[in-house]
């Protein structure tokens, strides 16, 4: 925008809590003085955020506010109906220009469209940009012009389209703001109630994460310097530091996916990483799954609550509150499942391979509706993402796009033995069985009594027996899935 454009401009932060590579923020900054806002939205139809991501969000917002102050601007925190607040705030400060980066859920898009219309009716210019994805969902189409439903051709289409756009540098500074009037809905960050108090369950989160741009960059550099080496195979090992753990940062946007892509390419080209071309391509394909999930969400906005394949609506889900609670608490008696669920509760994160194992266990061993698992992840993951979380749960259930076949039922014993061969991941999160030898740690019920005694284990007391037999659960699941019509079961 021209420098003579009326000031201040208004930038609305959503899932782009950064100054670096923020296209809409940069656009607002070029207009002159810039007021930045974040809204704790209460609009109807928007899904309330989960507790773990709320904790992460609080700290990311605090760091963002500090960064803006250093650049001469200010972050104003607001709470309420954004459809009303954004036009009112723009009018109150005399803004002639409003910007934001786009989001892709159905309710969010409808809301943004309505706000744009209201602003323009008041002769306030408004622009939105892509600050969240490599390729926007509407850019990628099948040869017939529709959405793509299988990951491989989707990712092939993405890579063939064009190179990933170069990230934008952070603004050097912002012109000084005029004094602000009283703003409707203004609150302090602490008023959002994002931090736990009684009880304070965030100790493990504080020990694991450093929200904000600096923490995100530190995490990325650490991955490029270490975990990327051997990533193509090591990403499946929860006992090794072989994943990027960038997902919470990408979810709140305190780093951009374009910056991650560019720095990874640069590290490979300059030899700053020991990762190979194969490692990098595998890492990029994982970023590609995130893109695919948003592609699905954009074209199928009810993905979080409705089966992508409608014939799964007749699936005979079980109602079993006790089994669901055992799964949530990491008390199923299957060590790799319990370790994953406890890692989630303690850190707000779970290794991706283990996510697949625990999801398969809930859906196929316990026959509990995938939506119950998706909801638990939504509340307990720092990286809770409206597209990734939903698409991944539907993938495991078999009800989603490009879904796992119904007969793929992970054996939690052999999965543990294959991907946590020494039992170190289990020992880290299930300490009550830590003294078992590696050959028994994934099947403690097979350990001789003498070994259990030496390890201080009393099955059924200090550690539960399996809530269900794997063999029986597998047969029950196969029968349940075979009851679906062929078009749904042979996905």
Catalytic residue of the set 100, 261, 370, 395:
370
> 58 is written with which tokens?
């609080």
**207 counts as catalytic:** no
- Nearest partner of 31 among 167, 171, 159, judged by Cα: 171
Structure tokens at 48: 């309330």
Catalytic residue, from 127, 272, 286, 432: name it: 286
At 42 the three-state DSSP class reads coil
**Alpha carbons 100 and 10: distance in angstroms, whole number:** 9
Q: At 477, phi and psi to the nearest 5?
A: -65, -45
Find the catalytic residue in 352, 411, 424, 432.
Answer: 352
Of 185, 183, 188, nearest in space to 95 by CA: 183
Contact (Cβ atoms closer than 8 angstroms) between residue 263 and residue 269: no
Catalytic residue at 317? yes
Active site residue 445: no
DSSP SS3 for 488: helix
Determine which one of 55, 100, 209, 289 is catalytic: 289
Q: Do strands 125-129 and 75-80 pair parallel, antiparallel, or not at all (unpaired)?
A: unpaired
Helices 257-270 and 277-299 pack at an angle, to 10 degrees, of: 170
CB 71 within 8 A of CB 171: yes
Q: Indicate if the alpha-carbon torsion angle 190, 55, 302, 155 is positive or negative.
A: positive
Q: Of these residues, 261, 327, 345, 393, which one is catalytic?
A: 393
CA nearest neighbour of 363 among 397, 407, 321, 328: 397
Q: Which of the following is catalytic: 127, 139, 201, 317?
A: 317
C-alpha Rg value of the chain to the nearest Å = 24
Annotation says 393 is catalytic: yes
Burial (Cβ within 10 Å: 0-12, 13-18, ≥19) of residue 114:
middle
Tokens of 260: 């991650």
Helix, strand, or coil (residue 332): coil
Query: What whole-number distance in Å separates Cα of residue 372 and Cα of residue 240?
Result: 29
Cα–Cα distance list, 76 to 42, 70, 147, 223, 252 (Å): 17, 15, 38, 33, 17
Give the C-alpha separation, 250 to 229, whole Å: 21
Using DSSP's 3-state secondary structure scheme, residue 52 falls into: helix
Residue in the block written with tokens 């403690």 = 444
- 36 within 8 A of 177, measured Cβ to Cβ: no
Is 370 marked active-site? yes
Q: With the CA atoms of 277, 282, 286 and 287 taken in that order, what torsion angle do they form, in degrees rounded to the nearest 10?
A: 10
CA pair distance 402, 398, nearest whole angstrom: 8
Pair of tokens at residue 243: 């994943």
**Which residue, chain included where needed, has tokens 């071309």?**
277
352 is catalytic: yes
Burial of 285 (C-beta count, 10 Å sphere; 0-12/13-18/19+): middle
- By annotation, the residues acting in catalysis are 286, 289, 317, 352, 370, 393
């Amino acid at each position: 925008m021209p420098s003579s454009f009326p000031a201040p401009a208004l930038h609305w932060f959503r899932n782009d809590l950064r100054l670096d590579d923020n296209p809409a923020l940069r656009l607002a900054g070029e207009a002159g003085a810039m007021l930045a806002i974040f809204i704790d939205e209460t609009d109807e139809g928007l899904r309330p955020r989960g507790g773990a991501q709320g904790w992460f969000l609080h700290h990311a917002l605090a760091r963002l506010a500090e960064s803006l102050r250093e650049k001469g601007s200010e972050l104003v925190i607001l709470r309420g109906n954004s459809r009303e607040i954004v036009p009112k705030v723009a009018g109150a400060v005399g803004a002639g220009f409003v910007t934001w980066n786009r989001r892709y859920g159905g309710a969010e898009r409808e809301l943004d469209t309505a706000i744009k219309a209201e602003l323009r009716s008041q002769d306030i210019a408004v622009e939105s940009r892509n600050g969240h994805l490599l390729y926007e969902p509407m850019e990628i189409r099948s040869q017939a012009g529709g959405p793509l439903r299988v990951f491989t051709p989707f990712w092939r289409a993405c890579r063939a389209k064009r190179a990933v756009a170069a990230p934008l540098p952070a603004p050097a500074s912002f012109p000084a703001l005029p004094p602000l009037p009283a703003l409707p809905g203004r609150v302090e960050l602490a008023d959002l109630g994002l931090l736990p108090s009684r009880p304070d369950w965030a100790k493990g989160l504080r020990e694991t994460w450093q929200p904000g741009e600096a923490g995100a960059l530190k995490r990325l550099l650490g991955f490029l310097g270490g975990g990327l080496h051997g990533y193509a195979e090591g990403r499946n090992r929860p006992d090794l530091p072989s994943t990027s753990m960038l997902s919470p940062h990408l979810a709140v946007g305190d780093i951009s996916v374009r910056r991650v892509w560019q720095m990874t390419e640069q590290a490979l080209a300059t030899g700053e990483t020991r990762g190979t071309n194969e490692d990098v391509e595998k890492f990029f394909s994982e970023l590609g799954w995130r893109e695919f999930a948003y592609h699905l969400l954009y074209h199928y906005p009810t993905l979080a609550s409705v089966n992508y394949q409608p014939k799964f609506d007749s699936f005979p889900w079980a109602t079993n509150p006790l089994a669901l609670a055992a799964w949530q608490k990491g008390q199923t008696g299957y060590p790799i499942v319990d370790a994953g669920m406890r890692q989630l509760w303690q850190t707000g994160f779970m290794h991706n391979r283990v996510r697949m194992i625990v999801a398969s266990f809930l859906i196929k061993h316990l026959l509990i509706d995938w939506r119950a698992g998706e909801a638990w992840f939504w509340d307990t993951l720092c990286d809770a993402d409206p597209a990734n979380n939903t698409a991944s749960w539907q993938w495991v259930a078999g009800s989603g796009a490009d879904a796992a076949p119904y007969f793929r039922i992970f054996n939690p014993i052999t999965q543990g033995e294959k991907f946590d061969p020494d039992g170190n991941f289990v020992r880290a999160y299930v300490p009550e069985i830590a003294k078992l030898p590696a050959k028994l740690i994934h099947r403690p019920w097979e350990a001789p009594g003498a070994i259990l005694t030496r390890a201080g284990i009393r099955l059924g007391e200090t550690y539960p027996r399996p809530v269900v037999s794997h063999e029986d659960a597998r047969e029950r699941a196969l029968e349940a899935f075979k009851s679906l019509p062929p078009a749904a079961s042979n996905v």
